[in-house]
Amino acid sequence: MLKLILSIFVAFAAAYALTPVMMKVAVRVGAVDQPNERKVHKGIITRIGGVAIYGGFVVGVLLMRELNLQVWGLLISGTMVMVLGLVDDMRGISPKVKLLGQIAAALVLVYFGVQVKFVTNPFTGGILPLNIFSIPLTVFWVIGMSNAVNLIDGLDGLAAGVSAIAAATLAVVAWTQGHYTTVYLALFLAAASLGFLRFNFHPAKLFMGDCGSLFLGYILGALAVMGLSKGATVISLFIPVVILGIPILDTSFAIIRRFFNNRPIFQADKGHLHHRLLEMGLSHKQTVLVIYAITFFLGSSAVLLTMLTTAQSVVILIGISVMILIGADRIGIITGQKLSGRIHGNKAKNYIGG
CA distances from 76 to 116, 237, 275, 320 (A): 19, 27, 35, 36
pLDDT at 341: 38
Helix (H) / strand (E) element for 142: namely helix 134-152
CA distances from 161 to 44, 185, 213 (A): 22, 17, 11
pLDDT at 35: 59
pLDDT at 340: 42
User: Strand, helix or coil at 337?
Assistant: coil
C-alpha Rg value of the chain to the nearest Å: 20
φ/ψ of 226, rounded to 5, equals -70, -35
pLDDT at 236: 62
Residue type (1 letter), 57: F
CA angle 74, 79, 84 (to 5 degrees): 130
| Domain definitions of the chain by residue range | 2-344
Q: Identify the burial level of 264 via C-beta atoms within 10 angstroms of its C-beta, where 0-12 means exposed, 13-18 middle and 19 or more buried.
A: exposed
Give the CB-side neighbour count of residue 40, counting CA atoms within 13 A. Answer: 24
This prediction's pTM: 0.86
CA distances from 300 to 160, 172, 320, 322 (A): 18, 10, 12, 17
Q: Tens of pLDDT along the chain (354 residues)?
A: 788 899 999 999 999 999 999 999 988 887 776 655 555 545 568 889 999 999 999 999 999 877 899 999 999 999 999 999 999 999 889 989 999 999 999 999 999 999 888 776 655 656 777 788 889 999 999 999 999 999 888 889 999 999 999 999 999 988 988 889 999 999 999 999 999 999 999 888 899 999 999 999 999 999 988 886 555 454 566 788 888 888 888 888 888 888 777 777 666 667 778 878 888 888 889 999 999 999 999 999 988 988 887 778 888 889 998 998 888 888 878 766 654 434 433 333 332 232
Cβ-based neighbour number of residue 167 at 10 Å = 27
Question: Does 210 count as an annotated binding residue?
Answer: yes
Does residue 305 contact residue 235 with C-beta atoms inside 8 Å? Answer: yes
In this structure, what DSSP letter does residue 178 have? T
